[in-house]
Amino acid sequence: MAKLILSMDGLVLKEINLTKERTTIGRKPHNDIQIDNLAVSGEHAVIVTILQDSFLEDLGSTNGTVVNSQPIKKHFLQNSDIIELGKYKLKYVNEAPAGQAKAADFEKTMVLRPGTLRPAPAAPAAAAPSSAPTTAAPTPAAAVTRNLADTVAGQSATAQPTAQPTAAPKLATAPQRNAALQLLSGPNAGKELDLTKPLTTLGKPGVQVAVITRRPQGFFITHVEGASFPVVNGKALDAQAHALNDHDVIELAGIKMEFFFKT
């Protein structure tokens, strides 16, 4: 159940549960949330709630509606958003159920029976969220699926710009260490390859390929294809993933490289 916490000058005035499909906000008495202040219009704004989601819409008020210091017309409310109307603040609270007991229910798929959702009279049209979403902003990092042997010939690697995953991780992952490879032999000896992507391939397709995966637990090298396995610190690996340690020396497809953490 989502709710709003109404306050002014830091003093909490009341809490309002968002139980209705439409929760109106304004100075006139018929509003669900009546704010008796001249800076607030008669019909100032409305919050449309569809199950667990709520959308705030300004109803053409004189002084406008602000969310997290940005003026908005329509806004998809996120937990902890602060709505400002005149001197009043409304904090939107919609937390995931706390406690391990509910965690298993959180991602449960459920069937929505027809008629469960009564059609909202005037659902807000799709509007880009005016405040930046709380998850990581997409930073286009060049995804390097680099084939080291091929870079020798000057062919361009297949680089796909990919955005950081904005959807999936809802939990805060521990800050990961950055790591890179330094080429020790071959035509590109001395060059560094940052291991920024979840997967970085090494080697020559059709001959010998290994992949370095970047995981919360660290970096791992795994054999992908080829008759022989990668060699780490002089020993050939088996088919299993192998955790990489600082300054491990990897040998693959005739090229030597050193794995190291960047601190």
Partner 1 sequence: MTLSGTLEVASCTDPGMVRSHNEDSIASDGDKGLVVLADGMGGYNAGEVASGMATTVIITELQQLLEKKVPYEIDAQSGQVVAHQMLHEQIAKANTSIYQAAQSQPQYAGMGTTLVVALFYDNKVTVAHIGDSRLYRLRGEEFKQVTKDHSLLQEQIDSGVITPQQARLSQNKNLVTRALGIDAVVEAEIHDYDTQPGDIYLLCSDGLCDMVSDDDIGLALQTLSSNLKLCAQHLVQTANDNGGRDNVSVILVRVLRDYPAPRGIVGKMKSWFR
Nearer to partner 1, 31 or 78 (CB): 78
Q: Give bridge partners of residue 179 from the DSSP assignment.
A: 261
Select from 62, 176, 217, 233 the one that contacts partner 1 (CB under 8 A): 217
Nearer to partner 1, 44 or 223 (CB): 223
Is residue 51 helix, strand or coil? Answer: coil
Give the shortest CB-222-to-partner 1 separation in angstroms. Answer: 7
User: Binding of partner 1 at residue 50 (CB under 8 A)?
Assistant: yes
Do the beta carbons of residue 94 and residue 4 sit within 8 Å? no
CA atoms within 13 A on the CB side of 59: 18
Give the shortest CB-160-to-partner 1 separation in angstroms. Answer: 7
The structure tokens listed for 150 are: 């091929």
- Contact characters 76-105, partner 1, x per CB under 8 A: x-x---------------x-x------xx-
User: Binding of partner 1 at residue 167 (CB under 8 A)?
Assistant: yes
User: Binding of partner 1 at residue 124 (CB under 8 A)?
Assistant: yes
Residues 2-31 interacting with partner 1 (rule: CB under 8 A): none
Q: Segment near partner 1 (CB under 8 A), from 8-16, 197-205, 242-250, 252-260?
A: 197-205
Give me the torsion for CA of 7, 10, 13, 18, rounded to 10°: 40
Select from 166, 178, 185, 228 the one that contacts partner 1 (CB under 8 A): 166
User: Binding of partner 1 at residue 216 (CB under 8 A)?
Assistant: yes
Q: Give bridge partners of residue 181 from the DSSP assignment.
A: 193, 259
Q: Distance between CA 255 and CA 81 in Å, rounded? A: 52
Is residue 222 helix, strand or coil? Answer: strand
Give the shortest CB-166-to-partner 1 separation in angstroms. Answer: 6
User: Binding of partner 1 at residue 1 (CB under 8 A)?
Assistant: no
User: Binding of partner 1 at residue 155 (CB under 8 A)?
Assistant: no
User: Binding of partner 1 at residue 160 (CB under 8 A)?
Assistant: yes
Nearer to partner 1, 113 or 118 (CB): 113
- DSSP letter (8 states) at residue 95: P
Q: Distance between CA 35 and CA 27 in Å, rounded? A: 5
Radius of gyration of the chain (CA): 27
Give the shortest CB-131-to-partner 1 separation in angstroms. Answer: 11
The closest of 224, 216, 218 to 246, measured between CA atoms, is 218
User: CA quadruple 71, 73, 79, 82: dihedral positive or negative?
Assistant: positive
Give the shortest CB-39-to-partner 1 separation in angstroms. Answer: 29
Q: Distance between CA 204 and CA 255 in Å, rounded? A: 11
Q: Distance between CA 197 and CA 203 in Å, rounded? A: 17
Q: Distance between CA 67 and CA 47 in Å, rounded? A: 13
Chain contacts with partner 1 (rule: CB under 8 A): 50-53, 76, 78, 94, 96, 103-104, 106-114, 117, 123-129, 133, 135, 143, 145, 158, 160, 162-163, 165-171, 173, 197-199, 201, 205, 209, 211, 213, 215-217, 222, 224-225
